[in-house]
Amino acid sequence: MTQSSSKTLLGIGLLAVFLALPVIADMLGQPALTSLATRVLIYGIAAASLNFILGFGGMVSFGHAAFFGVGGYVVGILYQHYASGDPLFGFLPGTNQLLITLPLAILVSGAVAAIIGALSLRTSGIQFIMITLAFAQMLFFFFVSLKAYGGDDGLIIRRANEVPGLNMRDKQTVYYVCLAIAVLFFALLTRLVNSRFGYVLAGLRQSEQRMAAIGLHAYRYKLVAFVISGMGAGLAGALMANFMRFASPDMLHWTKSGELMVMVILGGVGTVFGPLIGAGTFIVLETLLASWTENWQLGLGFILLFVVLYTQGGVQALLQRVFGSRS
């Protein structure tokens, strides 16, 4: 079995599992599994966005939660102004329409990523990591200080954004909306990774000097990749705000960036579907370990060490070896 065919089968298998999961959850009398799977899809999008610059571009960002949180707050702030009837900035009306809030969350997150990336990408290595972390923490404290939007307590979204013809109060409906968006996202990500831009990004990860020698401007390509990655994280944040009906500064905290990075490492750095698998692994392990002990992070740490040291590429690589050897 070739590598491309195994990736295709993996994608089809994941889609089949996610399509059947709500039915299986109802049969087992465990409707909470649908909510768990919704979180997996949303965090899978966020982790895959981080992996786009981390695994394919070699840019280790430790502040990706900033874009995740900005996307969530766009939804929350627009809903608050819709509910109160007061226009944002005195002239922008609020809204509770998902087809409006999602694109706006993506655009605003992309704009924030463009500003942060334009400054951060002038450095590299440890300096780049620390600058992205510093910007994320600045945004975290900025939203903490916004008392008009809940401050440290966050912002309650009393109803999920509406979609014409759909009942967004139903958890299964929200799940399938997130699934449809995730399918489109990973399809676009696959196309992007396998495009000329993706190949240039992979080349920059290996050697910027060689790419510069053939006439390619490394800074421009990396900045575009950073903006695309921020837009993906903003999309995930907007979906999470709708799902949780809540946006808070915790979405921007550095620990959230750490969780996204752990998901990428668990699933497989530099793979398309690895972050989605890593998100599922992380959330399932968090749920199970937290039910056994308050110190669940310790157990997760041991599992992460095992994955890094012995799987040679994360859970996705392990699954491909197991099923590949059987076939």
Check: pTM over 0.85? Answer yes or no.
Answer: yes
Helix axes 65-84, 254-267, angle to 10 degrees: 120
For the ranges 22-26, 132-136, 212-216, which has the lowest average pLDDT? 212-216
Q: Look at residue 326 and tell me whether its pLDDT is greater than 60.
A: no
pLDDT digits (tens, 9 = 90+) for 4-43: 566 677 778 888 888 888 888 888 888 888 999 999 999 9
pLDDT in the model for residue 327? 42
pLDDT in the model for residue 12? 82
The number of residues making up the chain comes to 327
Q: Which long-range contacts (CB under 8 A, 24 or more apart) does 16-23 make?
A: 18/179, 18/182, 19/179, 22/172, 22/175, 22/176
Q: What are 88's strand-pairing partners?
A: 92
d(CA 318, CA 315): 5
pLDDT digits (tens, 9 = 90+) for 153-169: 889 898 889 998 888 88
**Widest pairwise Cα distance in the chain:** 63
Buried/exposed 253-270: b ≥16 CB within 10 Å, e otherwise: bbebbebbbbbbbbbbbb
pLDDT in the model for residue 325? 47
pLDDT digits (tens, 9 = 90+) for 85-123: 888 877 788 888 999 999 999 999 999 999 999 999 988
User: What would the two tokens of residue 41 be?
Assistant: 């899809």
Neighbours of 15 (CB within 10 A): 14
> Of 276, 287, 282, 324, which is closest to residue 307 (Cα–Cα)?
282
pLDDT in the model for residue 86? 84
**Which one-letter DSSP state was computed for residue 246?**
E
Q: What are 246's strand-pairing partners?
A: 156
For the ranges 41-55, 180-194, 246-260, 284-298, which has the lowest average pLDDT? 284-298
pLDDT in the model for residue 238? 95
d(CA 25, CA 28): 5
For residue 313, which phi and psi values (nearest 5 degrees)? 130, 10
Q: Which residues contact 178 (CB under 8 A, 6 or more apart)?
A: 38, 41, 42, 239, 243
User: What would the two tokens of residue 149 be?
Assistant: 């939007």
Buried/exposed 136-159: b ≥16 CB within 10 Å, e otherwise: bbebbeebbeeeebbeeebbebee
pLDDT digits (tens, 9 = 90+) for 269-310: 888 888 999 999 899 888 888 888 777 788 888 888 888 777
Average pLDDT, the chain: 87
As a whole-number percent, the residues of the chain with pLDDT over 90 amount to 45
Q: Look at residue 322 and tell me whether its pLDDT is greater than 70.
A: no
Q: Look at residue 321 and tell me whether its pLDDT is greater than 90.
A: no
Q: How many CA atoms lie within 13 A of 147 on its CB side?
A: 0
Question: Token match 């197991």: residue?
Answer: 322
> Of 165, 176, 161, 170, which is closest to residue 97 (Cα–Cα)?
161
Q: Look at residue 44 and tell me whether its pLDDT is greater than 90.
A: yes
